[in-house]
Amino acid sequence: MRIIKLLLFSGLFPLAVATAYAETLCTTDEVVLFSCNTGRRIISLCGSMKPVGPASYIQYRYGRPNQLELVYPTDKKPPGQLFKTDFTTYARGSMESNVSFAVGEYSYTIYANIILGSSDDMNNAPPGEYGPHAGVLVYRHEKVLKDIACRSEDLTGDEATDLVTSRMAPYLAESMSVQK
């Protein structure tokens, strides 16, 4: 018991507990564009505080705090053509946001969607698949290798609306408006 009290008061134990359940891999001086917990890892899309200019960046991070498994791009640089986005609305108000990027022969699509309605509606989703969904799809040569889903209890449905339309747009507006 004395050792536990010593750990608690030393500050080491609370730090370990606090970082083990972090819901984002973004730092306090970054904007959280997207983040979710998969139950084993965290998926985060982090941006610079200023979305425009030479110091602007977007960075994808996957893993655990202090144990990142994938960071893209490795350097914090303007997003330019590094990320592609897509936003689609469907029947009955269902919608989907996607942010994708490629690393070598692998490509990754961060998705956030909300499926509304019922099985007889036009969106043709099977029963039980309604509501918000998010995660990352990992492809190799255009074939899905893995669908890493976010915990459904952490999702609100706002991710689908906001991810591309209001969170990503300011970071990518500069590269999209320079079309020659």
pLDDT single digits (tens) 130-164 = 667 788 999 999 899 999 988 877 666 666 677 77
Query: What span, in angstroms and rounded, lies between the C-alpha atoms of 132 and 124?
Result: 15
Token pair for residue 136? 């990352």
* DSSP codes, 82-137: S-EEEEEE-GGG-EEEEEEEEETTEEEEEEEEEE-S-TTSTT-PPTT--EEEEEEE
Q: pTM for the whole thing?
A: 0.76
- Of 116, 113, 132, whose CA–CA distance to 124 is shortest? 116
Q: In a 3-state reduction of DSSP, which class is residue 67?
A: strand
Residue recorded with tokens 């043709």: 124
Tell me which long-range contacts 100-106 makes (C-beta under 8 A, separation of at least 24): 101/60, 101/72, 103/70, 103/72, 105/140, 105/141, 106/138, 106/139, 106/140, 106/145
pLDDT in tens, 5-58: 333 333 333 222 223 224 899 999 999 999 999 999 999 999 999 998 889 999
Q: Cα angle vertex 84, ends 148, 67, to 5°?
A: 40
Q: What is the pLDDT of residues 70-120, one digit of tens each?
A: 999 999 988 888 999 888 777 666 778 889 999 999 999 998 887 776 554
